[in-house]
Amino acid sequence: MSNESSRIRPLRDITEEYRSLFNKTIDSKDRDRIGFLLVFYNWIDDFMRGGFDENEKAFAIRSAFAIAKRLLESKLDGARLSKIGQIIEESKSIRGDMDALFIAEHLKLQFFEDCKLDSENPDWELIDKYLNHWMNSLKEKEIGIKYYCRDENGEIIEDNERVLTTGPSFFRHCAAECVEWFFNMELKPIDYTPESLMELDRVVDAHWPRELFRDISINSDEPQSIVLLKLVLMTGSYLGEVLVRRLGGRWEKSEDLGWHIRIKETRINVFNIAEKAFRETSSFYETFKLLEKT
């Protein structure tokens, strides 16, 4: 084993956190929250007993627990948690455990990114809009992902263009996916601060062996290429959004660089930096510090 790969550590054991969340929720005597937790408890048991390989099983169990923890520790009330539990149970029944996990991940992303669930003033009307969409879709057995936002008049409108058209809205969406991806691995969020880029460097260095992608083309249809592309889009977009929010950068497109960030006269190819992070050296925080001096 190379020196580089020997430094790779597995994701930390979450047994104690699992036990702590379980006991805390049971001790609360909140029937809705306990019912919600039991949905995930049974779901995790399904993954443990199902015909998944060890990697799929580990991914699914950790993701399901991260979703439960993120939502149970949020400002969601019991009634809304009960609806989410129903959505998950119906999704499992119609599409199976893995597809239900995919749906739950999207719901979590919508709540925290679009509805600002972890802010001082979550958009409860938008949260209910999403809940009703998922409940109605499952009732009609026509599961489709929709996104919403508020227009300039404050009205809720569909916003599916964000994932269909490459541009700043798409990159903000990818950055939000990075936040939830990080939470699934570390069970804590990152918050678009410069220090969060140090955390991102740490996670990439710790969990992603460089030899995994070193000889992989990012433009191929091979499974590893698709994984690399997704990681580059998420982490590059997150770096870009930190530069936008903290250093006044803006998204621009040019023929030579494609989509990039401009800060004053400096152009930063954030996706090239992200790709190098998974092939060579992770330098998200170093990039920020260098640009901070310009």
CATH number at residue 231: 1.20.120
Please give the single-letter amino acid code of residue 281: T
174 lies in the same domain as 91? no
C-alpha neighbours within 13 Å on the C-beta side of residue 293: 5
- How many distinct structural domains can be found in the chain? 2
89 lies in the same domain as 218? no
**Residue that is last in its domain, among 127, 146, 163:** 163
Summarised one tens digit per residue, pLDDT across range 113-147 is 999 999 999 999 999 999 999 999 988 887 778 99
Q: Is residue 195 part of a domain?
A: yes
> What confidence score (pLDDT) does residue 8 get?
42
Across the chain, mean pLDDT equals 91
The answer to whether 194 and 246 are in contact (CB under 8 A) is yes
Q: Which residues contact 150 (CB under 8 A, 6 or more apart)?
A: 123, 126, 156, 157
| Gap between the Cα atoms of 188 and 163, Å rounded | 25
177 lies in the same domain as 159? no
> Which two structure tokens, joined as six digits, stand for 158?
């569909």
Q: Is residue 91 part of a domain?
A: yes
**Residue that is last in its domain, among 101, 133, 163:** 163
269 lies in the same domain as 240? yes
155 lies in the same domain as 34? yes
> What confidence score (pLDDT) does residue 3 get?
41
73 lies in the same domain as 173? no
Q: Which domain holds residue 81?
A: 11-163
Q: Which residue in 46, 40, 51 sits closest to 18, CA to CA?
A: 40
Helix then strand then coil, in percent of the chain rounded to 5, is 65, 5, 30
> What confidence score (pLDDT) does residue 230 get?
95
**Residue that is last in its domain, among 163, 197, 229:** 163
Q: Is residue 1 part of a domain?
A: no
> Which two structure tokens, joined as six digits, stand for 160?
């599916």
Q: Which residues of the chain have pLDDT under 50?
A: 1-9
89 lies in the same domain as 103? yes
208 lies in the same domain as 139? no
> What confidence score (pLDDT) does residue 139 get?
86
Summarised one tens digit per residue, pLDDT across range 142-152 is 777 899 999 99
